[in-house]
Amino acid sequence: MRIKLAASYGFCFGVKRAIKIAENTQNASTIGPLIHNNEEINRLRENFNVKTLHDISEAQGIERAIIRTHGIPKKDLETLKQSKVEVINATCPYVTKPQEICEKMSQEGYEIVIFGDADHPEVRGVESYAINGAYVVQSVSELEKIKFKCYKVAVVSQTTRKISEFLDITGYLQMRYKEVRVFNTICNATFENQDAARELAKEADVVIVIGGKNSSNTKQLHSICKEYCADSFLVESEKDLDPSWFNQKQLCGVTAGASTPDWIIEKIVGKISEIKV
Ligand code: F3S
């Protein structure tokens, strides 16, 4: 069986940057997981004494706080800054962007729509910057239920969402409201990994998607691969591999979510190459 890696996979710019910041800072605590990858978080704790706090309520007494790639709610950031904690901000610049847009547009009187998952930390953070709150929706049917108070609407997206679905949302709004400001805040790193995963899944007999099971962009990659290759499996570590997946297969495609480090990918590819088909 041949193993082929996607043309683009794994760590994105924002995650690489956050890990560098954490490695350089050392002896610090992150508010929430720095990135969505448990193995990398364990490595940072063991090698650099970077601990993960569940949330800001656990931050009392810490000296240094690193803000994770997905960002945190504005009031939590302000609380940290007002305390004696040294704050090192590793929020991805592509996440800071929709935060800034929500703040600015809500100050200008626009109602804010965020296309994304209301329970995702990135979205909770972005939403907190809208001065009068925001509507978080995942579909046009959710949008249909909203009664906007004015005719000015600004819309942003969670960075990891599909562009086609974002266009459905923005199209709906533009048909119905006089003044709609659309900000495409979907991250290119997501596109690149998604496009490459799609191409790979078209030709592979089995696809292994490597990444955290709680990582939104890894789950998206998995769902794209499944559209083109039914035998697509999401694994977090080599322990999740099931040899029966590879029976009679000629080409195994491998891709990885945006917060999956190379050392995990190498380990898993090594393990796959040992499997007898
Ligand atoms: Fe940032 Fe995009 Fe990565 S938003 S954290 S560069 S997937």
Average pLDDT value for the chain = 94
Q: Whose CA is nearest to atom 1 of ligand 1?
A: 14
Please give the distance, rounded to the nearest whole angstrom, from the Cα atom of residue 186 to the centre of ligand 1: 9
Residue from 67, 89, 159 whose mutation best tests the ligand 1 pocket (most atoms within 8 A of CB): 159
Q: Which residue has the higher pLDDT, 60 or 227?
A: 227
Q: Tell how strand 251-256 and strand 232-235 pair up.
A: unpaired
Contacts of 147 (CB under 8 A, 6+ apart): none
- pTM check: above 0.85: no
- Domain 2-9+188-274 fold is Cobalt-precorrin-4 Transmethylase; domain 1 (3.40.1010)
Q: What is the CA radius of gyration of the chain?
A: 20
Sequence spans of domains, the chain: 2-9+188-274, 13-91, 94-182
Q: Do domains 2-9+188-274 and 13-91 have the same CATH topology?
A: no
Whether domain 94-182 has CATH 3.40.1010.20: yes
Q: What is the pLDDT of residues 21-68, one digit of tens each?
A: 999 999 999 999 998 888 889 999 999 999 999 989 999 889 999 999
Q: Is the CB of 15 under 6 A from ligand 1?
A: yes
CATH architecture of 13-91: 3-Layer(aba) Sandwich (3.40)
Atom of ligand 1 nearest to the CA of 18: 5
Is residue 262 very low, low, confident or very high in pLDDT (cuts 50, 70, 90)? confident
Q: Which of 23, 40, 100, 122 is catalytic?
A: 122
The pair of three-digit structure tokens given for residue 264, joined into one six-digit string = 């995990």
Q: Is residue 122 flagged as an active site residue?
A: yes
Q: Closest Cα partner for 44 from 22, 17, 21?
A: 22
Confidence of residue 277 (pLDDT cuts 50, 70, 90): confident
Distance 14 CA to ligand 1 centre (A): 5
pLDDT at 179: 96
